[in-house]
Chains A and B, each alone.
Chain A
Amino acid sequence: MKRFTYVIQDPLGIHARPAGLLVKAAKEFADTTITLTKEDKTVKGTQLMKLMGLGVKTGDSVTVTAEGASEDAAIAAMEQFFKNNL
């Protein structure tokens, strides 16, 4: 399993639009499970409403993991996604 932790920079946090884009990005890796954890709550990267339900705000720290056949590519794509969008 691969992981990284990221501090959200976007002033609005993970709001609807980046959440939607994130789901799209996560669905690219059908053979790999991507998760996001904020404090004690974990959701899959493909769960749009649950992702919004995490209520991730600017300055919050989230941990992203990838586990599966393409975990290296998936975690790299996620890191890039967070840097570019969040």
Chain B
Amino acid sequence: MKILQGQGVSKGIEKGTLYFYHRVSAVVEQQMAQDPAAERARLEAARVQAMEQLEAMAERARAQAGDDAAILFETHAMFLEDEDFTGAMDEQLDEGYTAEYAAQQAGEQFAAMLAAMDDPYMQARAADVRDVTGRLLNILTGVAEGGINSEVPVILAADDLAPSETIQLDKSKILAIATQGGSGNSHTAILARTMGIPAVCGLGDALSEDLDGQEAYIVGETGQLVFEPDEETLAGLEARQQKQAEMRVLMRSMVGQKDVTLDGREMMVYCNIGSPEDIHAVLANDGQGVGLFRSEFLYLATEDYPTEEAQFRAYKQVAEAMKGKRVVIRTLDIGADKQVDYFHLNKEENPAMGVRAIRICLNRPEVFRTQLRALYRASAYGKVAIMFPMITSVWEVEECRRACREVMDELTAEGIPFNPDTELGIMIETPAAVFMAEELAELVDFFSVGTNDLTQYTLACDRQCSGLGRFFDPHHPAVLRALKAAADAAHRAGIWIGICGELGADLELLPTFLAMGIDELSVSPSAVLPLRSAIRKSTAAACTLDLLKG
């Protein structure tokens, strides 16, 4: 057995034959041109042709992998229009060198500049410049791009793949990608993820051409390339493959379908996310919406209060990506247990019951206002819903609503677009909110139950305390009865109720949730498929509330 370890940059497992990608690169020598004017015309013709190719590829990428992939080629086309780049080529031509040498020198100069920057994103752009230069050289020298000469799909191996190479290759021939260089930031990684094929980068020299034609397993999750696995390893790999195959079948059977039980009860299956990047996982798992977008990442990642603009962008990005599906964004939910220095929160003996979440917002209207403005502005770009955490009293919700109205009035006065019917909801995570659910339901458009906190506060069990073991029981009838009381109040008022805590993904409790009439379950993206599958096998009418008995 032999295992090569790299960095897994796109998930999945495949078994196949390693196929080395042979790049036919143009050899460029430092040569003086016979006819300088002709060289200038050749280079200009090649530049125009390269731009045309890139435009065609942008269209192709847009169709295959979406706007994000297309932007890449549009950027390449812009490099070719850059006056410094063309200027650097002109300088070489002025010296009397050939078109090939001029293109190569100019490309190297700018690739080196980007590679020397201390920002990994910019370093990765050096590959883009080299890619564009390679395109020019191929056109100038008439070299065709390398393809995959194999009848069956292969694991494509290469030193590193340029984005234009990845997009031109026949996808039906590629099972997975393994490269010596590259990183999670590289376009190859991004494209592999978008296309849903496994990829492992950074394998180094260990990925040598001697391995060409050998059979291997590639595992994106672990970043491994496994040759001749021993029995135990093989069993693990096959189990993983089996699971992936099952998931794919599941996925295919469920994509785009409503989540209904056998007797026709509909359940909304949404996802919990912590940052805009997580949206890829939501879409990959066919989540029907975002049931909880934690806005804390904006506050935790910065050294000062995030501006309205920075927040607006993050919210807008998610709202747009979900294309009209609901995105529930929770206003900031921090407290003394989460370190955000610039909030200058006093140290508390018991942060779970301290100045946290909505309490901070109501005490500091400016912080709240900034976030609400960003949220309402984003509401013009998708189906945004706003959710307030840690509610215990009717007056708190009234104050939140007042703050929303003020923000809407401001935006109207400033002529900034927003959706005035943006849904407002609250989290049900305190016993007080359960007792007041009747009145609270009259003030909002939805409830979402945070089961972790509801368990903690109902059972008087600190979530952080390690010794509580069997006392901290989210299945406790008291917790489930609290949930039922909130659900009944919601339904009497005609609003929907969801669960966004960990309990939502607990398949053992699914029948209980169905019996209560819970309308939405929001879970981590990876839990979506098993949950949907379980819903589709359930019969709501046969579900009971037995677990609520003491």
Shortest B69–chain A CB gap in Å is 12
Q: Which partner residue on chain B sits nearest A21 by CB separation?
A: B78
> Closest 5 A-B residue pairs measured CB to CB?
A48-B82, A9-B309, A20-B78, A16-B75, A9-B310
Asked whether any CB of chain A lies closer than 8 Å to the CB of B510, the reply is no
Q: In residues 271-315 of chain B, which contact A (Cβ within 8 Å)?
A: 307, 309-310, 313-314
**Partner among A11, A47, A57 whose Cβ is within 8 Å of the Cβ of B82:** A47
A52, B114: Cβ atoms under 8 Å? yes
Which of A12, A13, A52, A53 is the most central at the interface, judged by chain B CB atoms within 10 Å of its CB? A52
**Proximity string of chain B (234-255) to chain A, C-beta cutoff 8 Å, 1 when within and 0 when not:** 0000000000000000000000
Q: In residues 382-414 of chain B, which contact A (Cβ within 8 Å)?
A: none
In the complex, A83→B309 CA distance in Å? Answer: 8
In the complex, A11→B275 CA distance in Å? Answer: 12
B83, A46: Cβ atoms under 8 Å? yes
**Partner among A10, A46, A47, A52 whose Cβ is within 8 Å of the Cβ of B125:** A52
State whether A47 and B121 are in contact (beta carbons under 8 Å apart), knowing that A20-B75, A20-B78 are contacts in the complex: no
Q: In residues 44-101 of chain B, which contact A (Cβ within 8 Å)?
A: 71, 74-75, 78-79, 81-85
Chain A residues whose CB sits within 8 angstroms of the CB of B82 once the complex forms: 23, 47-49
Asked whether any CB of chain A lies closer than 8 Å to the CB of B110, the reply is yes
**Partner among B75, B85, B110 whose Cβ is within 8 Å of the Cβ of A17:** B75
State whether A12 and B78 are in contact (beta carbons under 8 Å apart), knowing that A17-B71, A52-B114 are contacts in the complex: no
Query: Chain A interface: which size bin?
Result: 20 to 34
A16, B118: Cβ atoms under 8 Å? no
**Partner among A10, A16, A55 whose Cβ is within 8 Å of the Cβ of B117:** A55
Q: In residues 456-510 of chain B, which contact A (Cβ within 8 Å)?
A: none
Asked whether any CB of chain A lies closer than 8 Å to the CB of B119, the reply is yes
A48, B84: Cβ atoms under 8 Å? yes
Q: Which partner residue on chain A sits nearest B80 by CB separation?
A: A48
Asked whether any CB of chain A lies closer than 8 Å to the CB of B128, the reply is yes
Asked whether any CB of chain B lies closer than 8 Å to the CB of A2, the reply is no
**Proximity string of chain B (103-144) to chain A, C-beta cutoff 8 Å, 1 when within and 0 when not:** 000000010011001110110010011000000000000000
Shortest B415–chain A CB gap in Å is 14
A20, B84: Cβ atoms under 8 Å? no
Given A16-B125, A23-B82, 4 extra CB contacts under 8 A: A11-B313, A17-B71, A20-B75, A48-B78
Q: In residues 1-42 of chain A, which contact B (Cβ within 8 Å)?
A: 9-13, 15-17, 20, 23
Q: Which partner residue on chain B sits nearest A83 by CB separation?
A: B309
A12, B121: Cβ atoms under 8 Å? yes
Chain B residues whose CB sits within 8 angstroms of the CB of A11 once the complex forms: 310, 313-314
In the complex, 22 of the A-B residue pairs with CB atoms within 8 angstroms, ordered by the A residue number, are A11-B313, A15-B122, A16-B125, A20-B74, A20-B78, A47-B82, A47-B83, A48-B78, A48-B79, A48-B81, A48-B82, A49-B114, A49-B129, A52-B114, A52-B122, A53-B113, A53-B114, A53-B117, A53-B122, A55-B118, A57-B119, A58-B310
A49, B75: Cβ atoms under 8 Å? no
Chain A residues whose CB sits within 8 angstroms of the CB of B313 once the complex forms: 9-11
Chain B residues whose CB sits within 8 angstroms of the CB of A10 once the complex forms: 310, 313
In the complex, A56→B309 CA distance in Å? Answer: 17
A interface list, Cβ under 8 A from B: 9-13, 15-17, 20, 23, 46-50, 52-53, 55, 57-58, 83
B122, A55: Cβ atoms under 8 Å? yes
Shortest B419–chain A CB gap in Å is 20
State whether A15 and B121 are in contact (beta carbons under 8 Å apart), knowing that A52-B114, A53-B114 are contacts in the complex: yes
Chain A residues whose CB sits within 8 angstroms of the CB of B79 once the complex forms: 48-49
State whether A16 and B119 are in contact (beta carbons under 8 Å apart), knowing that A47-B83, A48-B78, A48-B82 are contacts in the complex: no
Chain A residues whose CB sits within 8 angstroms of the CB of B78 once the complex forms: 20, 23, 48
Chain B residues whose CB sits within 8 angstroms of the CB of A57 once the complex forms: 119
Shortest B19–chain A CB gap in Å is 31
B85, A49: Cβ atoms under 8 Å? yes
Chain A residues whose CB sits within 8 angstroms of the CB of B129 once the complex forms: 49
In the complex, A47→B110 CA distance in Å? Answer: 12
Chain A residues whose CB sits within 8 angstroms of the CB of B119 once the complex forms: 13, 55, 57
Chain A residues whose CB sits within 8 angstroms of the CB of B113 once the complex forms: 49, 53
In the complex, A48→B75 CA distance in Å? Answer: 10
Shortest A6–chain B CB gap in Å is 11
Q: Which partner residue on chain A sits nearest B118 by CB separation?
A: A55
In the complex, A48→B88 CA distance in Å? Answer: 13
In the complex, A9→B374 CA distance in Å? Answer: 13
A49, B310: Cβ atoms under 8 Å? no
Which of A13, A49, A50 is the most central at the interface, judged by chain B CB atoms within 10 Å of its CB? A49
Q: Which partner residue on chain B sits nearest A24 by CB separation?
A: B78
In the complex, A52→B83 CA distance in Å? Answer: 14
Chain B residues whose CB sits within 8 angstroms of the CB of A15 once the complex forms: 121-122
Chain B residues whose CB sits within 8 angstroms of the CB of A17 once the complex forms: 71, 75
